[in-house]
Amino acid sequence: MIKFFRHIRLNLMETGKTAKYFKYAIGEIILVVIGILIALSINNWNERTKLKIEEQKLISSLIKEIESNVDKLKISINNNQTIVKMSSTFLKNAASNQDFDYKVSNIPSLFAYSSNKIESSILNEILGTNSRALISNETFIEQLRVLKRNYNRSLKTEFYVDEYWNNQIAQLMNELGLGIYMTSDGLFKNRKVDFEITNSFLSSLSLMNGYQQSLLRRRQDMAKVLDETLKLLKQ
């Protein structure tokens, strides 16, 4: 092809058709420029397509991560609500100064606590420097920042409750003999002890109840943000 165009140019020069030669040369330059522009457009289109595919992969992975967190959060919230209701009822009955029936074996359940493990590796990847450029929707990015702040607040509350339980409640359970032990046949059973409701016990239960309520509110707030984020992602 190059030899063909060169032959035409030489033929025009040899025949003295200079004006036609310059017109042809300009036309050839224009064709080359158009070809380069087309090649660049195709290359840019390919790059945008690759970025879009990567963006969709990240979003799909994030949806799965959030849905997993939602499922675990629902279980944690249900457990929270049950424990708060139980401990609140116990404290109310104890404050009435009237005798009420309770099972010693149920006392540890009033202090029950289960941490909610949040997965955020994909979220952190998207908000990180390397993957941030893949997400073009700024509204979407801002919602993810809101989600990240809720994650951090929830983890902070979880940390305080976890510290209190490990440093105070676990020790209290052992002191009262309300822990569980393993029998010779490998079964777990509650220790049988004479239990007396003391002011110290009620104070610890009241504080734990407050922590549980705070944790419940934090988890409920996070559940709302997770739902909002999922709706935005699935649009």
For residue 67, the model assigns a pLDDT of: 94
Considering only CA atoms, give the Rg of the chain.
35
For residue 7, the model assigns a pLDDT of: 56
For residue 38, the model assigns a pLDDT of: 78
Pairing between strand 188-190 and 180-182? antiparallel
For residue 187, the model assigns a pLDDT of: 43
Residue 1 reports pLDDT greater than 70: no
Name the packing angle between helices 18-95 and 2-14 (round to 10°). Answer: 150
Residue 64 reports pLDDT greater than 90: yes
pTM assigned to the model: 0.69
CA-nearest of 45, 17, 62, 27 to 234 is: 62
> Tokens representing 126?
């998207």
CA 211 vs CA 75, 96, 157, 208: distances in Å: 18, 23, 8, 5
pLDDT in tens, 126-135: 887 655 556 6
Residue 24 reports pLDDT greater than 50: yes
DSSP secondary-structure letter at 185? T
Cβ pair 117, 155 in contact under 8 A: no
